Amino acid sequence: MRLVLASASPRRSELLERLNADFDIEVSNVDETSCDEPDARRYVIDIACKKALAVAERRKAEDVIVIGADTIVIAPDGERLGKPADRRDAKRMLGKLSGEWHVVHTGVALVCAGQSRNDTGVETTEVKFRDLDDSMIERYLDTGEYPDKAGAYAVQGYGAVLVEGIRGCYFNVMGFPLAKLADMLGRFGYRFF
């Protein structure tokens, strides 16, 4: 059975490639602001489901498993930090996370297009940032890696130097909790190796 990743995220593609998975990419074009769910964990599952279902509808005649995912960062004060609107917004987000623990939620949804089966899950990871001064934040923003990242940082890139500690799944912070994904796909009979 072939996988279809309903995401334009290069990080998610890279992680699936690391596992030597056979997959296609088909972007869902779902509006990530189209959900008003107040609970952050349900929010990411809802968006992940919308992404997977949108692509599954287009591929319903095929025997494929569509994977949808969505990641959000929750600041210590409870604010949801998605992708920053611009550099100023990114600076605000990083300042808010400086020296603090925050939470990263990733919702994953699988839809087996040919069989009308689905499964959902969410992974939560805690991340602690170092104390960041304005100079460090500006230097990080100068790298240009923040624009399409929840919370305005990439833990797998230059953003690694911002992080002091992680409790939970590192890959979740990248946007794809691989162990959870493997368990979910296993329930559909798909094995990576």
With contact defined as beta carbons under 8 Å apart, do 48 and 107 qualify? Answer: yes
With contact defined as beta carbons under 8 Å apart, do 119 and 184 qualify? Answer: yes
Catalytic (active site) residue 134: no
Residue 42: Cβ within 10 Å count: 15
Topology given in CATH for the domain delimited by 2-186: Maf protein (3.90.950)
Query: CA–CA separation, 45 vs 122, rounded Å?
Result: 7
Query: CA–CA separation, 177 vs 12, rounded Å?
Result: 10
Residue with tokens 């998605």: 82
Domain boundaries, the chain: 2-186
Q: pLDDT tens digits, residue range 108-165?
A: 999 998 777 899 999 999 999 999 999 999 999 999 999 989 999 999 999 999 999 9
Q: pTM for this one?
A: 0.92
Query: CA–CA separation, 132 vs 106, rounded Å?
Result: 25
What is the residue-wise DSSP string for 127-140?
Answer: EEEPP--HHHHHHH
Q: Which residue out of 39, 70, 86, 133 is catalytically annotated?
A: 70
pLDDT at 70: 93
